[in-house]
């Protein structure tokens, strides 16, 4: 079928592996099937259970209206998200290190004060 639609076989193999064909490809596939006398309906292109799912859930392109695209564009970059995540992981570790060092520095100050008193 890939050759009849004019697509790479790997594209069709990916659809088979994922169990779905992108909805924006349906018209081209149906046209190619009709040109080659292959009986195919639009409902047969949907993945199992997709016919009962809302149309918006079948394809990410249907979900992203203009506001959705704007919201997607406002998301931080992957590098920024990685930086935030590392910061969130490091902060508790830094606080724990400070708390672990605090008793030792307090003891050093106490011994220092006793040393100055005795001298």
| DSSP per-residue codes, 46-108 | SPTTTTTS-HHHH-HHHH--HHHHHHHHHSPPHHHHHHHHHHHHHHHHHHHHHHHHHHHHHHH
pLDDT for position 83? 92
20 pLDDT band, cuts 50/70/90, is confident
Residue whose C-alpha is closest to residue 21's, from 43, 53, 52: 43
Is the distance from CB of 42 to CB of 30 less than 8 angstroms? yes
Mean pLDDT over the full length of the chain: 76
Residue ranges covered by each domain of the chain: 1-75, 77-119
Q: What number is the average pLDDT over the span 2-13?
A: 79
- Given a cut of 80, whether residue 112 has pLDDT beyond it is yes
pLDDT for position 37? 82
- Given a cut of 50, whether residue 52 has pLDDT beyond it is no
Q: What number is the average pLDDT over the span 80-84?
A: 90
- Given a cut of 80, whether residue 104 has pLDDT beyond it is no
The model's pTM is 0.38
pLDDT for position 53? 46
pLDDT for position 51? 46
């Amino acid at each position: 079928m890939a050759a009849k639609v004019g697509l790479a076989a790997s594209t069709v193999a990916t659809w088979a592996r994922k169990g779905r064909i992108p909805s924006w490809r349906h018209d081209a596939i149906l046209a190619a099937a009709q040109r080659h006398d292959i009986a195919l309906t639009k409902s047969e292109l949907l993945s199992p259970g997709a016919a009962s799912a809302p149309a918006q859930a079948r394809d990410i392109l249907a979900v992203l209206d203009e506001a959705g695209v704007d919201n997607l564009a406002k998301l931080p970059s992957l590098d920024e998200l990685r930086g935030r995540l590392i910061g969130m992981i490091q902060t508790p570790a830094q606080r724990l290190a400070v708390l672990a060092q605090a008793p030792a520095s307090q003891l050093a100050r106490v011994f220092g004060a006793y040393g100055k008193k005795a001298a």
